[in-house]
Amino acid sequence: MAAADSQGNFLSSQILIPILIEHLAIRRGLTGEVVKTVSGSDLIPKIAQFFNLPLYETAIGYKYIADRMLSADVLIGGEESGGVGYGMHIPERDALLSALLVLEAVVESGEDLTQAYQRLQQQVGFDSAYDRIDLPLASMAVRSRLVEQLQTHPPKEVAGQAVVDCLTVDGYKFRLADGRWLLIRFSGTEPVLRLYCEAANIQQVNQTLAWAKDWANRCQ
């Protein structure tokens, strides 16, 4: 699932999931757990809390969200790559249903999608930008060296910011002193490094991802 606003700007699921949470909870009057992966935006738990909805976080991969749907009362579950599903439906991604719900949210709110997103950010007091890059590696041997580097000598500073926490549920998610985060993950089947970042603005995102690329190239 993805969308464009009235100006033609691309909107990823990082933007659409918060809009869908509000739509389902407020206009449709539904309740249940919000399920996100570790690569999901920090706005998602803030929106869930704002609407008094429980939150559950999983490793990356829709199968983990589907497993949670089979064992809990889930309102919505989604991942950064665009897969979104609903507890009122089947425990699987459904892009057509998601598209219809996004259109319904636009019609019933009377807001452009970007306007709705910015309003939600203001309501919870959280502004951010996000991006992800996939970095090809020379070989699986290089992949192994980078994994070893993260296991034995994880960075204590990223892009000039001290690392205050590291989550290893899926990859290595470094939370930095100014609130931004960097997630470093490896493809399990090919020599590809996946780099994710959310920060206060796109300049900080680009700076952090550039640091991560330089780190990976140095360690190769």
pLDDT in tens, 136-170: 998 888 889 999 999 999 999 999 999 999 999 99
| Residues 66-74: contacts with CB under 8 Å, at least 24 apart | 66/91, 66/92, 68/33, 68/35, 69/35, 72/33, 73/31, 73/32, 73/33, 74/32, 74/33, 74/34, 74/35
Domain boundary assignment for the chain? 3-124, 129-219
Angle, CA of 169, 190 and 184, to the nearest 5°: 35
Tokens standing for residue 87: 């507890």
Q: How do residues 48-94 score in pLDDT, each as one tens digit?
A: 999 999 999 999 999 999 999 999 999 999 999 899 999 999 999 99
Q: Is 3-124's fold the same as 129-219's?
A: no
Question: What's the token pair of residue 131?
Answer: 């991006």
- Global pTM value: 0.92
CB crowding 14-44: b at 16 or more within 10 Å, else e: bbbbbbbbbbbbeeeebebbbbbbbbbbbbb
Q: Give Rg (Cα) of the chain.
A: 18
Q: Please, what CATH class does the domain formed by 3-124 belong to? A: alpha beta
- For residue 174, the model assigns a pLDDT of 98
Whether domain 129-219 has CATH 3.40.50.880: no
Short-list 48, 81, 86, CA closest to 66: 86
Q: What is the tens place of the pLDDT at every residue in 186-219? A: 987 788 999 999 999 999 999 999 999 999 988 7
